Amino acid sequence: MGRLFGTDGVRGRANVDLTPELALAVAVAAAHTLAEVDRSHPPLAVVGRDPRASGEMLEAAVVAGLASAGANVVRVGVLPTPGVAYLVGETKADLGVMLSASHNPMPDNGIKLFAAGGHKLPDEIELKIEAAIEANAAAAWNRPTGAGVGRVHDLLDGADHYVQHLVGSVSHRLDGLKVVVDCANGAASDIAPVAYREAGAEVIAIHAEPDGLNINDECGSTHLDVVRAAVVEHGAHLGIAHDGDADRCLAVTADGEEVDGDQIMAILALAMRDAGTLTDDTLVATVMSNLGLRLAMSKAGIRLLETKVGDRYVLEELRASGLALGGEQSGHVVMPAHATTGDGVLTGLHLMARMAETGKSLAELSSVVTKLPQVLINVPVGDRSAGAAAPAVLAAAEQAEAQLGGTGRVLLRPSGTEPLVRVMVEARTVETAREVAERIAQTVREASPVPV
């Protein structure tokens, strides 16, 4: 078996790649790996999902697998991924399972696992779970019987607890702010409008009517055109867009200009620095964050730490270094004082709280970051590792870095799942970025051609 876990759990087309049988096997292996089965004190698992139709089927399989392994299960229903993580900690559960494919189309689904406390799993634990699945395929578990079988209960007020937690995290009311929130017909459809209203904002909710089939369908954080138009139409101060499981937050200004994760992180970093809560005056971001963020943070006296791409690596650095803020350009923002993972609604609340605190527009706040043009080329290759590390490719990248000086940068990254090398170039002009990226991409093609 190859790697089952990707950068964010197990993901694939529901009932094709991600079958009920696989979901059950993952649940059993997770229960045995993440919790010591004590017959007098059985482990506890929290299970939630986004509203896509296949989640009902996969939830049934996961719950059955957990209970068959002797774990008691608390179902929390449709809830954002960070809400499930929060309830894992609140209920002192041994593990949590979220069924969601995040921003992916409706036919896809995924299994995201949380350890005790609501934390994402490190690579070594995922490898143990994969090994446990293989072991279970070879020889059945010693299954409990009778009173040893896990029990299943529903937590009816979990969403209420989560909303109160979110609203209680901000120190400034949002009265006077009008916001359009695009809920992506996903897990935030009930939570986000309620949380923003309870914090004082006037809320216009769009794409907040999930039917199991319309999640992420031309809406949410990957399709900002509709929220842009709605902000202008309603004369709102800003727009906020979440993805299907609401762990992302992107925004648009009153004029409909996009504010991405890099800009949001800069706004929050300055707010936390001013409040004295930005530990070591340090922000954590991935290598994909725009050079404009780095320059803005340097000017503000804020140190920037870089990680590999993926919010899990941001989380690992935040925990290892005891830091207070990190995230990704895509809109995953993590504030460990309030959440164990990226939380889009939490981010939206704190973004608006900064507007309320300063009296400044989102356009004014986001202008602290001047984004450099960024060109990304995905180059098909025969061998992605060789394509990214070939001497000619490295020499071309080094030459380009020298050409750009301190006004740009080059990033070469083999894809983790496809036969591609990603060539990313930032420069003062898009023309320069494109010319440099094309030159390096051609060197990659020549170094590792696709077999005919």
247 appears as a binding residue in the annotation: yes
Residues facing residue 410 across a β-bridge: 425
Beta strands 72-78; 238-241: pairing state:
unpaired
Three-class DSSP category at 392? helix
243 appears as a binding residue in the annotation: yes
CA geometry: angle at 267 spanning 207 and 428, to 5°? 95
Q: Which residues are CB-neighbours of 427 under 8 A, at least 6 positions away?
A: 372, 373, 404, 407, 408, 433, 436
Three-class DSSP category at 414? strand
Residue found under tokens 């049934």: 60
Provide the token pair at 387: 């394509």
Known catalytic membership, residue 102 = yes
Three-class DSSP category at 145? coil
As a whole number of angstroms, the distance between CA 156 and CA 43 comes to: 20
Neighbour-count burial of 402, counting CB atoms closer than 10 A to its CB (0-12 exposed, 13-18 middle, 19+ buried): exposed
171 appears as a binding residue in the annotation: no
Q: Which of 40, 68, 100, 102 is catalytic?
A: 102
Residues in the chain: 452
Provide the token pair at 41: 């004190």
Q: For the residues of 309-372, what is the DSSP string, one character each? A: SSHHHHHHHHHHHT-S-EE-TTS-EE-TTT-SS--HHHHHHHHHHHHHHH---HHHHHTT--PP
Residue found under tokens 């809400």: 83
Query: What residue numbers does the annotated binding site cover?
Result: 102, 243, 245, 247
Catalytic residues: 102
Query: What residue numbers does the annotated binding site for Mg(2+) cover?
Result: 102, 243, 245, 247
